[in-house]
Amino acid sequence: MARTKELECVKYEIDDEGIAWVTFNRPEKRNAMNPKLHFNMQAVIAELETDDDAKVLVITGAGDAWSSGMDLREYFRDTENDPAARFKAQWAHRHWTQFLATSQKATIAMVNGYCFGGAFCSLAACDIVITAEDATFGLSEVNWGILPGGNVSKVFADLANHRNAMFYAMTGRTFDGAKAVEMGIATLAVPADDLRDEVVSIARELMEKAPMVLAYTKQA
């Protein structure tokens, strides 16, 4: 039977088929990643890894955003003079994304809308990225007078290529889902209305494979 759990900034549902729908749940802030969201994700990803009912993990966002990146106020401004708090938040983000990247289970990012800045690190941790054609991606840091710090520049350049990374980091221009596929950031772009069905269909295909073979394929 389907199971759900709701934390402060993240919720999940494991449906009857075995798809674990993990949702960044701050729609009113376009799912900006504050420290609490990172702590919640740490707990959720660890929990699902050892939950046999969760066979494929889908990471998505509530409302019209996947994630608008790091929370400019709660992640950056509020921790400006509190290095311990900044470290804890940073470490939690690195930890859950690394955990996700090395998960034994197949993981799919379902990009339903905005994806900015630090959200690319979360995106890069997923095996497969299915995006709505009209989703909006961008490295907007330059517009706020900051650089795409942490791992963002590296992750973006690894996913796309040097020329694309340089252009989008320097201009702060946005691009859509089709362009994200063209650049290698996303696997597939589909009309927004078909997004969930496409993800379910891919998840079902993955669940037909031997789980250990998928896990070894990921390691290889």
Residues that bind ligand ACO (CB under 6 A): 29-30, 32, 65, 68-73, 114, 116-118, 140-141, 144, 152
The token pair that represents 96 in the structure block: 């859950």
Q: Residue 58 or residue 152: which is nearer to ligand ACO going by CB?
A: 152
State in angstroms the smallest separation of the CB of 173 from ligand ACO. Answer: 13
Residue 45 and residue 129: Cα distance in Å, rounded? Answer: 18
Give me the least distance between CB of 137 and ligand ACO, in Å please: 11
Q: Residue 102 Cβ, how far from ligand ACO at the closest point, in Å?
A: 23
- Which of residues 16 and 80 has its CB atom nearest to ligand ACO in the complex? 80
CB-nearer residue toward ligand ACO: 31 or 107: 31
> What three-state secondary structure class fits 129?
strand
91: how many CB neighbours lie within 10 A of its CB?
12
Q: Which is nearer to ligand ACO, 117 or 177 (CB)?
A: 117
Q: How far is the CB of 28 from ligand ACO (least distance, A)?
A: 6
* Radius of gyration in angstroms for the set of CA atoms belonging to the chain, rounded to a whole number: 17
| Amino acid letter for position 26 | R
| Helix ranges restricted to H, 127-210 | 152-159, 162-171, 177-183, 195-207
